[in-house]
């Protein structure tokens, strides 16, 4: 810069300012608006604005600000779009949201990273899990930890195992302690499948499909056990579809199972034991005729022992068997031959498929052609075979048409033959519960059929027990090993009164119904702790009080058999003219009145009266409280148990099975009934009180049809079902006899090596004669003894006796005439009647018979004395007379 100031100082000599504020002034020449110029003080800020404007800086700044605003808006829109894109991918199969290589995901404090299923579960479709895969910027071959594992392995395990809710650990590897091979979690989980794995939740709509899916998976795995975890009540809708699924599995666990159609399905706790065979139900006392035939064969009087079967298709050729070796008759005959290896047996099958007890007892039903029958009627053709042992079996076709009179008739028909067989009755098993046919009563999966079958089986079992007939209980054994419970070993459990029912409390009057002629009370729907209901039971014990004389009181003890008109109630009469309590009952065969019995128990004179009524199995016990004669003791609270009660009746009554509702009815409508105890059980329910077992196999297994093993998928068993059910029962019976276990029966032709010793009791001759090798000793009514012993002396048998009193006869054998008078022994003028000897009443020797002194005492026999004759003829005569006891030869030489 050149020039000087006004004072002449060069401008270059002036100081240089190092800091200028916007408010500082500088000297400058300013052009006025009129064009003139003059020196003025100019503020630095004015100069800066002028310079900025001249350089276009304000416009540039504004443009920059506008650009920044636009960029922010674009950034916001991009973020929003990216967020929406991520949200759109959540829950979508195959969805993915990516962060670029400069983005960071920071989780601080209590932040969490959640991975939820890609798709939620719906119906039977399981959820599709999402996966979290940690990606680390490290070489996957790098080793981590002290074990030398690669980072890649660690990442893979972490990806499958370290998951938040909803994650998938299926492919994680686990190694069992002590094992050498790791397996995926999914494989280990499938070792013990649970129905919850397939979406079961306690509703029939979801549980039936879940069970069906589970059964299919188990079938592929050749497995049958399906777990039901605690807290789940697996609910079936009672359809054939649910029965089909249940039939393929054995459900186990600590949950519960309920089927709307049948109480023979149940969940089996895993601690249950497997069943073992119950005691034999065919014993030597049931086989007298059969054992007589065994003895006859051994004595050589018959050439073989003959065994047969009559009944329905279960033992017939038409039983869908694959071979006759797989029919249970083969196993039966093998069991007999094993117990009697020295005996020759023959067998004939007289069974006809589709038949009933009514058909067997019919006078017109034709026999099968393969019998080569000699008559046109089935039962008479079977009788003509002359069997020594005969099995009668029917039940499956009898449901809804069972006729107990026919069953009794055909059994007694064979027992009444001139040469009867030993009759054994077969109690049929339950068919497959997952099978059905076109006939409604053959809907095996429904409770109606199951009750109908049990009605028959329970009656037949009671009939056999009461009448001493051996029986083969296939029903019980199959229930134990397939259904998983023993219907014959029951535990009754007390119910809980319910104020909303007709049994509001123990000890209070029940809510009864007054009819035109009597008052009645039906067991209400009160339950015990295990879920049995009193209106659906088979067995019960009830203690109650009657406020006044009921005149007559009846209690039903069985279900209703539609094919008999006989009453099913047990009646107790308090109105008998004798003043004593009377009772009557019917077993379905005859009128109730025919079994009326008047007891020696007086009708109570003071009321209330307390009674105890117990019905369990085939046993019925009825009791009443009577004041004791030797003590003032009273039962008090023990009236609920019947302690000290007097028994009116106790015995076996064949009664119809199946669940039913008991009804109490009485004649005096002014009488009130108060219940003090009620315990119940149900033989047609797995959980009804029977002893529990773990099933051997599924419901389907025994009858599952195949070309290789037979079976019908319904009632007829395959080879394995025959082996496990029918053959097992046949082999468990006592077809032989053991003198150490049972009172011995000596059959005709039998011999006892070493002799027979009786240390106590009597040898009883029930029929016929006591026979030695050379003749008849006599019928028991004509043979009286007062102590005798048999001893041997050389080749002789010596009878010695001891008189009961001095001078009395100690051994008397005196036959009687038809009119009771003494009969002669030996020749009586018209023929020989026998030979014998004994002592007369005065103790002297008494001889009688066709040779010897006829009705003469030994002391009256003529005595011949003198010199013995030398004539040969006379000597022979004397010798003969003396040898026959006609003379006492006292001659001397």
Q: Residue 114 has what DSSP assignment?
A: -
Average pLDDT over residues 701-724: 94
Full-model pTM: 0.70
8 Å CB contact between 788 and 801: yes
What's the pLDDT at 871? Answer: 84
What's the pLDDT at 53? Answer: 74
Q: Is 646 helix (H, G, I), strand (E, B) or coil?
A: strand
What's the pLDDT at 820? Answer: 61
What's the pLDDT at 568? Answer: 82
Kindly report the CA angle at 146 between 140 and 149, in degrees rounded to 5? 30
Share of the chain above pLDDT 70, in %: 74
Q: Would you state the torsion angle of the CA atoms of residues 252, 256, 257, 263, taken in this order, to the nearest 10 degrees?
A: 100
Q: Can you tell me the distance from the alpha carbon of 563 to that of 651, in angstroms, rounded to the nearest whole number?
A: 25
What's the pLDDT at 692? Answer: 97
Lowest-confidence region among 572-581, 659-668, 760-769: 760-769
What's the pLDDT at 773? Answer: 47
Express each pLDDT in 113-172 by its tens digit: 665 665 666 666 666 665 555 554 556 677 766 667 776 676 666 554 445 456 677 888
Average pLDDT over residues 670-692: 96
Higher confidence at residue 212 or residue 9?
212
Question: What sign for the dihedral angle of Cα 529, 531, 535, 538?
Answer: negative
Look over the chain and give the mean of its residue pLDDT values, rounded to a whole number.
Answer: 82
Kindly report the CA angle at 761 between 783 and 798, in degrees rounded to 5? 50
Radius of gyration of the chain (CA): 52
8 Å CB contact between 350 and 308: yes
Average pLDDT over residues 559-579: 86
Residue position matching structure tokens 């074990």: 147
8 Å CB contact between 658 and 685: no
Kindly state the tokens that stand for 719: 């080879």
What are phi and psi for residue 466, nearest 5 degrees?
-70, -35
Kindly state the tokens that stand for 598: 């008047």
Higher confidence at residue 84 or residue 886?
886
8 Å CB contact between 700 and 709: no
The answer, yes or no, to whether residue 469 has pLDDT greater than 50, is yes
Q: Would you state the torsion angle of the CA atoms of residues 465, 467, 472, 475, taken in this order, to the nearest 10 degrees?
A: -50
Q: Is 881 exposed, middle or buried (0-12, 13-18, 19+ CB in 10 A)?
A: middle
Q: Which long-range contacts (CB under 8 A, 24 or more apart) does 622-630 make?
A: 622/570, 622/572, 622/583, 622/647, 622/648, 622/649, 622/650, 623/647, 623/648, 624/581, 624/648, 626/601, 626/602
Lowest-confidence region among 242-256, 753-767, 800-814: 800-814
Cα 303 off chain centre by: 43
Q: Give, rounded to a whole angstrom, the gap between the first and last alpha carbons of the chain.
A: 213
Q: Give the best-scoring range by mean pLDDT among 4-8, 79-83, 425-429.
A: 425-429
Q: Which long-range contacts (CB under 8 A, 24 or more apart) does 85-90 make?
A: 90/116
């Amino acid at each position: 810069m050149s020039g000087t100031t006004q004072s002449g100082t060069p401008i270059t000599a002036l100081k240089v300012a190092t800091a200028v504020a916007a408010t500082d002034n500088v000297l400058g020449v300013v052009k006025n608006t009129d064009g003139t110029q003059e020196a003025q003080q100019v503020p630095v800020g004015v100069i800066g604005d002028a310079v900025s404007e001249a350089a276009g800086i304000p416009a540039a700044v504004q443009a920059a600000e506008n650009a920044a605003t636009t960029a922010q808006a674009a950034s916001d829109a991009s973020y929003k779009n990216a967020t929406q894109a991520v949200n759109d991918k959540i829950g979508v199969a195959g969805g993915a949201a990516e962060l670029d290589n400069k983005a960071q995901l920071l989780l601080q404090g209590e932040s969490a990273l959640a991975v939820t299923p890609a798709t939620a579960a719906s119906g039977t479709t399981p959820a599709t899990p999402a996966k979290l895969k940690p990606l680390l910027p490290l070489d996957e071959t790098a080793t981590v930890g002290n074990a030398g594992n690669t980072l890649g392995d660690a990442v893979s395990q972490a990806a499958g195992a370290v998951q938040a809710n909803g994650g998938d650990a299926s492919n994680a590897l686990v190694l069992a302690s002590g094992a050498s091979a790791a397996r995926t979690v999914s494989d280990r989980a499938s070792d013990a499948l649970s129905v919850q794995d397939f979406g079961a939740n306690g509703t029939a709509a979801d549980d039936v499909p879940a069970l069906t899916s589970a059964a299919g998976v188990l079938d592929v795995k050749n497995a049958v056990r399906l777990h039901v975890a605690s807290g789940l009540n697996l609910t079936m809708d009672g359809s054939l579809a649910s029965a089909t699924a249940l039939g393929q599995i054995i459900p186990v666990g600590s949950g519960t199972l309920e089927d709307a159609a049948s109480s023979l399905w149940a969940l089996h706790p895993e601690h249950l034991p497997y069943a073992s065979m119950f005691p034999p139900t065919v014993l030597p006392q049931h086989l007298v005729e059969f054992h007589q035939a065994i003895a006859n064969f051994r004595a050589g009087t018959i050439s073989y022992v003959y065994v047969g079967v009559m009944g329905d298709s279960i033992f017939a050729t038409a039983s869908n068997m694959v071979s006759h070796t797989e029919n249970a008759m083969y196993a039966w005959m093998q069991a007999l031959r094993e117990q009697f290896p020295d005996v020759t047996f023959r067998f004939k099958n007289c069974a006809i498929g589709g038949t009933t007890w009514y058909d067997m007892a019919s006078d017109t039903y034709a026999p099968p052609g393969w019998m080569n029958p000699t008559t046109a009627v089935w039962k008479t053709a079977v009788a003509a075979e002359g069997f020594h042992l005969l099995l009668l079996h029917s039940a499956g076709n009898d449901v809804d048409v069972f006729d107990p009179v026919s069953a009794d008739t055909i059994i007694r028909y064979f027992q009444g033959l001139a040469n009867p067989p030993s009759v054994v009755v077969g109690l049929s098993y339950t068919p497959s519960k997952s099978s059905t046919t076109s006939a409604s009563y053959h809907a095996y999966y429904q409770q109606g059929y199951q009750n109908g079958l049990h009605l028959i089986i329970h009656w037949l079992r009671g009939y056999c027990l009461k009448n001493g007939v051996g029986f083969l209980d296939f029903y019980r054994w199959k229930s134990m090993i397939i259904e998983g419970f023993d219907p014959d070993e029951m535990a009754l459990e007390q119910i809980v009164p319910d104020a909303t029912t007709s049994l509001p409390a123990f000890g209070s009057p029940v809510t009864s119904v007054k009819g035109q002629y009597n008052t009645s009370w039906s067991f209400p729907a009160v339950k015990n702790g295990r879920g049995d209901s009193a209106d659906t039971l088979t067995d019960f014990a009830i203690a109650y009080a009657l406020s006044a004389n009921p005149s007559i009181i009846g209690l039903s003890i069985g279900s209703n058999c539609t094919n008999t008109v006989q009453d099913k109630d047990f009646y107790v009469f308090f109105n008998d003219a004798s003043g004593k309590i009377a009772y009557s009952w019917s077993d379905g065969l005859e009128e109730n009145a025919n079994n009326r019995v008047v007891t020696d128990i007086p009708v109570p004179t003071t009321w209330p009266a307390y009674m105890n009524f117990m019905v369990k199995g085939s046993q019925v016990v009825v009791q009443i409280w009577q004041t004791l004669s030797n003590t003032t003791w009273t039962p008090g609270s023990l009236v609920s148990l019947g302690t000290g009660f007097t028994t009116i009746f106790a015995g076996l009554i064949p009664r119809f099975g199946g669940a039913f509702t008991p009804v109490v009815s009485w004649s005096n409508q002014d009488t009130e009934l108060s219940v003090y105890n009620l315990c119940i059980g149900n033989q047609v329910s797995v959980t009804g009180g029977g002893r529990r077992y773990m099933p051997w196999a599924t419901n389907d297994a025994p009858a599952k049809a195949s070309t290789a093993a037979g079976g019908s998928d319904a009632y007829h068993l395959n080879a394995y079902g025959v082996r496990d059910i029918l053959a097992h029962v046949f082999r468990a019976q006592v077809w032989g006899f053991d003198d150490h276990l049972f009172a011995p029966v000596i059959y005709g032709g039998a011999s006892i090596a070493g002799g027979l010793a009786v240390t106590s009791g009597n040898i009883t001759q029930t029929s016929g004669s006591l026979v030695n090798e050379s003749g008849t000793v006599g019928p028991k009514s004509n043979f009286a003894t007062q102590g005798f012993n048999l001893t041997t002396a050389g080749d002789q048998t010596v009878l010695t006796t001891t008189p009961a009193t001095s001078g009395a006869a100690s051994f008397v054998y005196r036959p009687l005439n038809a009119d009771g008078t003494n009969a002669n022994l030996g020749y009586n003028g018209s023929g020989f009647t026998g030979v014998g000897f004994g002592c007369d009443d005065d103790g002297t020797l008494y001889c009688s018979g066709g040779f010897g002194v006829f009705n003469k005492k030994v002391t009256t026999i003529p005595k011949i004395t003198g010199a013995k004759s030398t004539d040969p003829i006379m000597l022979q005569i004397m010798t003969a007379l003396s040898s026959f006891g006609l003379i006492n030869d006292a001659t001397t030489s």
